[in-house]
Amino acid sequence: METKRSPKNIFVQGPISPESIAKSIANHSTKTDIGGHSIFLGQVRADEKEGGKVTAIEYTAYEDMALEKAFEIREAIFAKYPLSCMHIYHSLGEVKVGEICLFVFTSSKHRKAAIDACEELVERIKKEVPVWGKELIDNDGSVWKENL
């Protein structure tokens, strides 16, 4: 039997609540070697589309591959930066305009590592993790998002 660290779940059904973010921050108060936290939050925008306005994004994922990929990215970022902690949460299902769909959280002794790692994590997640967002429009239509 092969033994290895297994991918952690990153998916949350529906929006990520500010309360869960606060809880995640509070959980780090016992880690007294941490000097800086960097957090990125993705929020659903009410973009204007042909025919109407975005009211929500419906997220789906190739979950098994997404968790493997997130794990691979996680290991690479841990190897590259001196981090104390790293957390990734992404919504699945419907997230309404103004709600949070992505929560990336890095912590380190000195600020630079946390800040750089967080930015790189966000870029890699958007580019490499198989998740799709379908923008739901107020005219009952929909548009598949594409990351730039």
Partner 1 sequence: MALTSIQVIAFGMIAEKIKTKELVLEYMPDTEVLLGYLYQQYPDLQHTKFSIAINKKMAVGKTAIPVGAEVALLPPFSGG
Q: Is 135 in the site for a second copy (CB under 8 A)?
A: no
Quote the CA–CA distance of 116 and 134 in Å, as a whole number.
29
| Residues 89/129, Cβ–Cβ less than 8 Å | no
Q: Which stretch binds partner 1 (CB under 8 A): 12-20, 22-30, 112-120, 127-135?
A: 127-135
**Binding letters toward a second copy, positions 8-27, x by CB under 8 A:** ----------xx-xxx-xx-
- 10: region left, alpha or beta (phi > 0 left; psi from -120 to 50 alpha): alpha
Q: Is 15 in the site for partner 1 (CB under 8 A)?
A: no
Q: Whose Cβ is closer to a second copy: residue 65's or residue 147's?
A: 147
| Residues 101/59, Cβ–Cβ less than 8 Å | yes
Q: Which stretch binds partner 1 (CB under 8 A): 47-55, 74-82, 112-120, 139-147?
A: 139-147
Cβ at position 67, least distance to partner 1 in Å = 9
Q: Is 32 exposed, middle or buried (0-12, 13-18, 19+ CB in 10 A)?
A: exposed
Cβ atoms within 10 Å, residue 59: 23
- Binding a second copy by CB under 8 A: which of 100, 113, 121, 137? 100
Residue ranges in contact with partner 1 by CB under 8 A: 42, 59-62, 64-65, 68-69, 90, 101-102, 111, 122, 125-134, 144-147
